[in-house]
Structure 1
Amino acid sequence: MALQRPTRTGMVFPDLRGDGRSLRATWHQEQQVVVLSLWRNNVCVSTFRLAADEVPDLIALLRLGLDEAYDAARERIERIERPSQAG
Structure 2
Amino acid sequence: MAQPRTPRTGSVFLDPRGEDRSLRVTWHHESQLVVLSLWRDNVCAGTFRLAADEVPDLIALLRQGLDQAYDTARERVARVERPPQAG
Question: How would you bin the TM-score normalised by the shorter chain?
Answer: 0.7 to 0.9
Gap regions ≥5 residues in structure 1: 1-7
TM-score (norm 2): 0.88
- Please state if 1:41 is matched with 2:41: yes
Distance in 2 (alpha carbons) for counterparts of 1:21 and 1:82? 40
Q: Percent identity of the aligned residues?
A: 76
Listed one character per residue, the Cα deviations across residues 20-61 of structure 1 (whole Å, up to 9, x for unaligned) are 110000000000000000001211110000000000000000
Q: Indicate yes or no: 2:56 matched with 1:56.
A: yes
Aligned to 1:3: none
One-letter amino acid of the counterpart of residue 79, structure 1: R
CA distance in 1, matches of 2:86, 2:63: 38
Report the CA distance between 1:86 and its aligned residue.
2.5
SS at match of 1:86: coil
Using the alignment, how far apart are the partners of 2:41 and 2:54 within structure 1?
Answer: 29
1: distance between equivalents of 2:66 and 2:51?
23
Q: CA RMSD, aligned part only?
A: 1.0
Quote the offset at 1:73 in angstroms: 0.3
Report the TM-score when normalising by structure 1: 0.88
Superposition pairs for residues 1-87 of structure 1, below 5 Å?
9-87=9-87
Structure 2 residue runs of 5 or longer lacking an equivalent are 1-7
Describe the SS at the equivalent of 1:62.
helix
Amino acid at match of 1:48: F
